[in-house]
Chains A and B, each alone.
Chain A
Amino acid sequence: MTDARRPILFTLGVFAVLALLPAVFALTGWTSGMGLATRIVIYAIAVVALDLIIGYGAMVSFGHAMFFGVGGYVVAIVAHHTGLGELPFGGTNAAFIVWPLAILACAALGLVVGWLALKTTGVQFIMITLAFAQMVFFLLISVQVYGGDDGMMIDRRNTLPFVDIGRPLIFYYLCLLLLAVWLGFCRMFVNSRFGLVLQALRQSERRAVNLGIAPLSFRLATFVTSAMGTGLAGVLWANYARFVSPDMAAWTKSGEFMAMVVLGGLGTLTGPIVGAAAFVGLEELLSMWTEHWMIVMGPLLVIVALFRRRGLVGSLLGGDRAH
Chain B
Amino acid sequence: MIFFLEQLLNGLQYGAMLFMLASGLTLIFGIMGVINLTHGSFYMVGAYGAAVVTAATGSVVLGAVAALAGAALYGTAVEIAVVRRLYGRDHLYQVLATFGLILFSNEAMALLAGRQPRFLEIPPLLSGSVHLLPGLDYPVIRLAFIAVGAAVAIGLWLLVNHTRLGMLIRAGADDREMVDALGVDIRRLYTIVFALGAVLCGIAGVMAAPLLAVEIGMGERILIAGFVVIVVGGVGSVRGALAGALLIGLVDGLGRAYLPQIIQSLLPPSIADTLAAGLVSASIYVIMALVLLVRPLGLFPVRS
- Inter-chain contacts of A295 with B (CB < 8 A): 103-104, 107-108, 111
Given contacts A123-B35, A141-B278, A323-B89, contact A131 B289 (CB under 8 A): yes
Residues 227-283 of B at the A interface (beta carbon under 8 Å): 227-228, 231, 235, 270-271, 274-279, 281-282
User: With A and B bound together, what is the CA distance between A287 and B102 in angstroms?
Assistant: 18
Given contacts A134-B285, A255-B95, contact A123 B231 (CB under 8 A): yes
Instruction: Please determine whether B274 and A148 come into contact, CB atoms closer than 8 angstroms.
Output: yes
Stretch touching chain A among B158-166, B172-180, B292-300: B292-300
User: With A and B bound together, what is the CA distance between A82 and B281 in angstroms?
Assistant: 31
Tell me the nearest residue of chain A to B227, going by C-beta. A127
- Cβ-defined partner of B235 (8 Å) among A62, A123, A143: A123
- Cβ-defined partner of B110 (8 Å) among A262, A292, A297: A292
- Inter-chain contacts of A304 with B (CB < 8 A): 96
Instruction: Please determine whether A298 and B93 come into contact, CB atoms closer than 8 angstroms.
Output: no
Excluding A62-B95, A259-B96, 11 further A-B contacts by CB distance (< 8 Å) are A119-B293, A135-B286, A138-B285, A139-B282, A148-B274, A255-B99, A259-B99, A292-B110, A301-B96, A301-B99, A302-B100
- Inter-chain contacts of B99 with A (CB < 8 A): 255, 258-259, 301
Nearest CB in chain B: distance from A297 CB, A: 6
Tell me the nearest residue of chain B to A256, going by C-beta. B99
Instruction: Count residues on chain B whose CB falls below 8 Å from chain A CBs.
Output: 51
Q: Give 7 closest A-B pairs by Cβ, nearest first.
A: A142-B278, A301-B100, A298-B104, A298-B103, A323-B90, A305-B97, A131-B285
| CB of A240 within 8 Å of the partner chain | no
- Inter-chain contacts of A119 with B (CB < 8 A): 292-293, 296
- Inter-chain contacts of B85 with A (CB < 8 A): 306
Residues 45-97 of B at the A interface (beta carbon under 8 Å): 82, 85-86, 89-97
Nearest CB in chain A: distance from B80 CB, A: 13
Nearest CB in chain A: distance from B105 CB, A: 8
Residue-wise interface mask of B (94-129) relative to A, using a CB-CB cutoff of 8 A (1 in contact, 0 not): 111101111111111011000000000000000000
Tell me the nearest residue of chain A to B288, going by C-beta. A131
- Cβ-defined partner of B231 (8 Å) among A127, A139, A142, A298: A127
Interface centre among B102, B281, B282 (most CB of A within 10 A): B282
| CB of A251 within 8 Å of the partner chain | yes
User: With A and B bound together, what is the CA distance between A300 and B107 in angstroms?
Assistant: 14
Instruction: Please determine whether A294 and B92 come into contact, CB atoms closer than 8 angstroms.
Output: no
- Inter-chain contacts of A62 with B (CB < 8 A): 95
- Cβ-defined partner of B292 (8 Å) among A124, A258, A302, A306: A124
Q: How large is the interface on A (under 10, 10 to 19, 20 to 34, 35 or more residues)?
A: 35 or more
Tell me the nearest residue of chain B to A306, going by C-beta. B85
Given contacts A123-B35, A123-B231, A127-B227, contact A143 B100 (CB under 8 A): no
- Inter-chain contacts of A301 with B (CB < 8 A): 96-97, 99-100, 103
Residue-wise interface mask of B (135-176) relative to A, using a CB-CB cutoff of 8 A (1 in contact, 0 not): 000000000000000000000000000000000000000000
User: With A and B bound together, what is the CA distance between A138 and B220 in angstroms?
Assistant: 15
Given contacts A132-B289, A134-B285, A258-B92, contact A142 B277 (CB under 8 A): yes
Nearest CB in chain A: distance from B38 CB, A: 10
Nearest CB in chain B: distance from A129 CB, A: 10
Tell me the nearest residue of chain B to A148, going by C-beta. B274
| CB of A109 within 8 Å of the partner chain | no
Residues of chain A whose beta carbon lies under 8 Å from any beta carbon of chain B? 54, 60, 62, 116, 119-120, 122-124, 126-128, 130-132, 134-135, 138-139, 141-145, 148, 251-252, 255, 258-259, 262, 266, 292-295, 297-302, 304-306, 309, 323
- Cβ-defined partner of A130 (8 Å) among B106, B227, B278: B227
Instruction: Please determine whether A60 and B101 come into contact, CB atoms closer than 8 angstroms.
Output: no
Tell me the nearest residue of chain B to A143, going by C-beta. B275
- Inter-chain contacts of A148 with B (CB < 8 A): 274
User: With A and B bound together, what is the CA distance between A86 and B184 in angstroms?
Assistant: 71
Nearest CB in chain A: distance from B294 CB, A: 10
Instruction: Please determine whether B271 and A144 come into contact, CB atoms closer than 8 angstroms.
Output: yes
| CB of B224 within 8 Å of the partner chain | yes
- Cβ-defined partner of B274 (8 Å) among A130, A144, A309: A144
Instruction: Please determine whether B275 and A299 come into contact, CB atoms closer than 8 angstroms.
Output: no
- Inter-chain contacts of A143 with B (CB < 8 A): 274-275, 278
Instruction: Please determine whether B107 and A127 come into contact, CB atoms closer than 8 angstroms.
Output: no
User: With A and B bound together, what is the CA distance between A302 and B102 in angstroms?
Assistant: 10
Nearest CB in chain A: distance from B99 CB, A: 5
Interface centre among A132, A144, A292, A298 (most CB of B within 10 A): A298
Instruction: Please determine whether A298 and B293 come into contact, CB atoms closer than 8 angstroms.
Output: no
Tell me the nearest residue of chain A to B223, going by C-beta. A251
Residues 20-39 of B at the A interface (beta carbon under 8 Å): 29, 35
Instruction: Please determine whether A135 and B285 come into contact, CB atoms closer than 8 angstroms.
Output: yes
Tell me the nearest residue of chain B to A250, going by C-beta. B220
User: With A and B bound together, what is the CA distance between A255 and B270 in angstroms?
Assistant: 34
- Inter-chain contacts of A124 with B (CB < 8 A): 231, 235, 292, 296-298
User: With A and B bound together, what is the CA distance between A255 and B220 in angstroms?
Assistant: 12
Tell me the nearest residue of chain B to A145, going by C-beta. B271
- Cβ-defined partner of B228 (8 Å) among A54, A131, A251: A131
User: With A and B bound together, what is the CA distance between A54 and B107 in angstroms?
Assistant: 29
Nearest CB in chain B: distance from A299 CB, A: 6
Instruction: Please determine whether A292 and B29 come into contact, CB atoms closer than 8 angstroms.
Output: no
29 intermolecular pairs with C-beta atoms under 8 Å apart: A60-B92, A60-B95, A62-B95, A119-B293, A119-B296, A123-B35, A123-B91, A124-B292, A124-B298, A131-B288, A134-B281, A135-B282, A135-B286, A139-B279, A139-B282, A142-B275, A142-B282, A143-B274, A148-B274, A255-B95, A259-B96, A259-B99, A259-B100, A266-B92, A295-B103, A297-B100, A302-B101, A305-B97, A306-B82
